[in-house]
Amino acid sequence: MLIKTIPGWSLPERKATPENVFWNRREFSKRAATGAILGATGIGFGENLYVSKGWGAEDPLADLFPASRNKRYVLDRPLTPKHLVTTYNNFFEFGSHKNVWKSAMQLPLRPWQLRFDGLVEKPITLDVDALIRKMALEERLLRHRCVEAWSIAVPWTGFPLKSLVDIARPLSGAKYLKMTGFNMPEIAKGQRQTWLPWPYVEGLTVEEAVNELTMIVVGAYGQPLPHQNGAPLRLIVPWKYGFKSIKSIQRFTFTHERPVSFWQEIASKEYGFWANVNPQVPHPRWSQATEKVLGTNERVPTQIYNGYGEFVAHLYEGLEDENLYM
């Protein structure tokens, strides 16, 4: 099933809430004031660092870093060295190989507007910096398991997606949240491959979107997010295969119809809507029983829900007839 995409930002101006009105009428949580500057930030992992131009001190959000660590999320393995996480990437907008970091740096990150629309009380467009500055940023150490059977462990900085859902105020008929990336074929050469269904799209149920583990990420290793990892903001859903964690999001659309993701549209027999990690359900072309840990190259057993079952397994009760693991 193909979802007919609403033409880009087709909402008449008069129907949109002006940004200043929006900010004035709401109370937002303040940035975590206590312990905002912690020594334990993640800076210092993998010291032979690659630091991209445009990432670091000159980033407009640099003063928000480092954020304090949320100790609720603990790892069972060392963090992956930063230089690997920032130079071994999947970002198909810039090519179908891992070495995309240089090309990804061409992506203009400002101005960057975020659109909230579909089944919401009132569609709005917000500036990314104004929005992020209203959020209580925190650092979480999380595992990330790619469907290709490699994994990383990263200190991400961000906030729960639930905070954005609260801002958007979805209507009761909204069952799904569709997230859409950018479409800039003049800059992103992968997007010149017109047989691919650009822009990149991903989706969650609203229950998944408001789950405490679901994170919008704006930084990594105690610094603003590098282009190649999905700046200025991306999703992280660590219990699902990595392709669900859409990068460089521009639009959040609430809908009653299950969104068809980028990969589902390309190969629906291999990539589904749910894509929850499960070592016992192989990909049609390879086993998912183990994963290669980037950095050590050790092969370790993959865990159900990537080890996050305590947070998310309840979301799937009663859905056993669905293809939950592809």
Binding site for ligand MTE (CB under 6 A): 89-93, 146, 181, 200, 229-230, 242-243, 245-248
* Vertex 162 angle, CA 110 and 10, to 5°: 50
- Strands 223-224 and 249-255 come out as unpaired
User: Which one, 159 or 243, has the nearer CB to ligand MTE?
Assistant: 243
**C-alpha distances in Å from residue 72, one per residue of 8, 9, 48:** 39, 38, 29
Q: How far is the CB of 243 from ligand MTE (least distance, A)?
A: 4
Q: How far is the CB of 247 from ligand MTE (least distance, A)?
A: 4
User: Which one, 118 or 181, has the nearer CB to ligand MTE?
Assistant: 181
Q: Which amino acid is at 198?
A: W
User: Which one, 203 or 242, has the nearer CB to ligand MTE?
Assistant: 242
- How far apart, in Å, do the first and last CA atoms of the chain sit? 17
Write phi, then psi, for 152 (nearest 5 degrees).
Answer: -135, 165
Long-range CB pairs of 57-61 (<8 Å, 24+ gap) are: 59/223, 59/224, 60/110, 60/129, 61/129, 61/132, 61/133, 61/218, 61/219, 61/224, 61/232
User: Which one, 45 or 200, has the nearer CB to ligand MTE?
Assistant: 200
Q: How far is the CB of 89 from ligand MTE (least distance, A)?
A: 3
Q: Which residue number has the CB closest to ligand MTE?
A: 242
Q: How far is the CB of 169 from ligand MTE (least distance, A)?
A: 26
User: Which one, 146 or 324, has the nearer CB to ligand MTE?
Assistant: 146
Q: How far is the CB of 144 from ligand MTE (least distance, A)?
A: 6
